Amino acid sequence: MQEQIDRLKGDTLGRIAAAADAAALDQVRVSALGKKGDITEMMKQLGRLTPDERRTTGQLLNALKDEVTAAIAAREAEFRSAAIDAKLSNERIDMTLPARPDAGGRIHPVSQTIDELTAVFGEMGFTVAEGPDIEGDFYNFTALNIPPEHPARQAHDTFYLPPAADGSTVLLRTHTSPVQIRTMQQVKPPIRIIVPGRTYRCDYDATHSPMFHQVEGLVVDETSHMGHLKGCLIEFCRAFFGIDDLPVRFRPSYFPFTEPSAEVDIGCSRAGGELRIGAGGDWLEILGCGMVHPKVLANCGIDPQRYQGFAFGMGIERIAMLKYGIPDLRTFYESDLRWLRHYGFVPLDVPSMTSGLSQ
Ligand code: DAH
């Protein structure tokens, strides 16, 4: 009996050691310890032995059973840690590898243009402010010195929403200028912000979309004057379009929220029917600006005797179309991947004044 048990032990432990995987190991377990397994069968025979034999053989069989069980558990643990090792080495990422040169995705020209102008104005000390797309007419018009019945309200082709619970007028903002008001109400001068964001007007053709983007600029302090406004915007135009000698001119204009007001043109050429930005004898309007109207400052609780400043606003799609030669505004919103692959930007080329804006 002893001999048989020793043989069985050697054999079973050998098969456990040789099991190549968890399935093979389980087969060994069943053949040794299962209902009809070798060790189980031998235990069934114990009843036929004399009480003395039964005790010694029983002890031997129990010890064998424990040893085999422990050997199976140990082998199982080996398989588990081998599986974890394999997973770890399979899933290992080499953090020292350079970023993938082209992941396939593209940054939309509107996002790119916002990043670029944020880089330029950021360098000049402006921070980015935001406001809600859904506005009250106080912020969108009244506080900006556009009174009820003022023709500018009609000119803005406003989308009106059902009135608020208190009966006040609610609309989709027609420009980013209401964020001037919100900022001046909340922050004490000096203020130096740009406000990129969505705007809405009921208009649709090759150069107008019911939703488009603007960027607003606002500077309020005790010393800024028209010379700063001009310097700031000339500098911006040249940096944004990447043309050091880009001609920039200021034409008198009218906005209810600025006095004096101006429109800014940049130089271009239209020779041969092709539009090119740069010195070329022709002009292209790109933005509106002016010194913040004293009434607007007063509407926000800022003393116009002490403070003054300048503001400007421009269409983001418009300057993107000019810079990147995109002919039709409507294509910006069609989500056409071919268009995005053509006009989009590589995500890793983050624009900055040191690494450069895309040209
Ligand atoms: N809000 C004007 C518009 O939507 C743009 C504008 C012009 C903004 C002059 C300004 C400004 O801040 O000073 O057409």
Instruction: Kindly report, residue by residue over 15-54, the tens digit of the pLDDT.
Output: 999 999 999 999 999 999 999 999 999 888 888 888 888 8
pLDDT at 209 > cutoff 70: yes
Q: In this structure, are residues 309 and 298 in contact, taking their beta carbons and an 8 Å threshold?
A: no
Rounded to two decimals, the pTM is 0.73
Among 139, 212, 257, 318, name the best residue to mutate to test ligand 1's pocket (greatest count of ligand atoms within 8 A of Cβ): 257
Same domain, 135 and 243: yes
CA of 177 to the centre of ligand 1 (A): 6
Q: What is the pLDDT of residue 272?
A: 87
- Stretch 257-285: mean pLDDT: 93
Same domain, 207 and 297: yes
Q: For ligand 1, atom 8, name the residue with the nearest CA.
A: 313
Strand order in the sheet with 134-136: 134-136, 170-172, 160-161
Residue 355 forms part of a structural domain: no
Same domain, 147 and 77: no
Residue 103 forms part of a structural domain: no
Same domain, 282 and 230: yes
pLDDT at 14 > cutoff 90: yes
Residue 219 forms part of a structural domain: yes
Same domain, 327 and 301: yes
Same domain, 134 and 252: yes
Q: In whole angstroms, what is the distance from residue 76 CA to residue 328 CA?
A: 66
User: DSSP assignment of 212-264, as one string?
Assistant: EEEEEEEEEESS--HHHHHHHHHHHHHHHHT-TT--EEEEEEEETTEEEEEEE
Token code pair at residue 305 = 């005797």
Structural domain boundaries enclosing 41: 2-91
CA of 315 to the centre of ligand 1 (A): 9
CA of 175 to the centre of ligand 1 (A): 7
CA of 318 to the centre of ligand 1 (A): 14
Q: For ligand 1, atom 2, name the residue with the nearest CA.
A: 313
Residue 101 forms part of a structural domain: no
SS3 57: helix
**What is the position in ligand 1's atom list of the atom closest to the CA of 199?**
4
The CATH number linked to 241 is 3.30.930.10
Q: Give percent above pLDDT 90 in the chain.
A: 77
Residue 102 forms part of a structural domain: no
Same domain, 131 and 271: yes
Among 176, 177, 211, name the best residue to mutate to test ligand 1's pocket (greatest count of ligand atoms within 8 A of Cβ): 177
Same domain, 232 and 114: yes
Same domain, 71 and 136: no
Domain boundary among 30, 58, 91: 91
Residues in the ligand 1 pocket, defined by CB under 6 Å: 175, 177, 216, 255, 258, 288-290, 311-313
Q: For ligand 1, atom 3, name the residue with the nearest CA.
A: 175
- Stretch 291-319: mean pLDDT: 97
Q: For ligand 1, atom 7, name the residue with the nearest CA.
A: 288
Q: What is the pLDDT of residue 215?
A: 98
Domain boundary among 91, 118, 146: 91
Same domain, 54 and 115: no
Where does the pLDDT of residue 347 fall: very low under 50, low under 70, confident under 90, or very high at 90 and above?
Answer: confident
- Stretch 284-288: mean pLDDT: 96
**What is the position in ligand 1's atom list of the atom closest to the CA of 216?**
12
- Stretch 229-253: mean pLDDT: 97
Q: In this structure, are residues 191 and 309 in contact, taking their beta carbons and an 8 Å threshold?
A: yes
CA of 288 to the centre of ligand 1 (A): 5
Q: In this structure, are residues 49 and 61 in contact, taking their beta carbons and an 8 Å threshold?
A: no
Mind listing the pLDDT tens digit for each residue in 116-165?
999 999 999 999 999 999 999 999 999 999 988 887 787 779 999 999 99
CA of 358 to the centre of ligand 1 (A): 26
Same domain, 192 and 331: yes
Residue 357 forms part of a structural domain: no
Residue 69 forms part of a structural domain: yes
Q: What is the pLDDT of residue 359?
A: 62
Where does the pLDDT of residue 4 fall: very low under 50, low under 70, confident under 90, or very high at 90 and above?
Answer: confident
Q: For the chain, give the mean pLDDT.
A: 93
CA of 280 to the centre of ligand 1 (A): 27
Same domain, 223 and 294: yes
Which pairing describes strands 211-221 and 308-315: parallel, antiparallel, or unpaired?
antiparallel
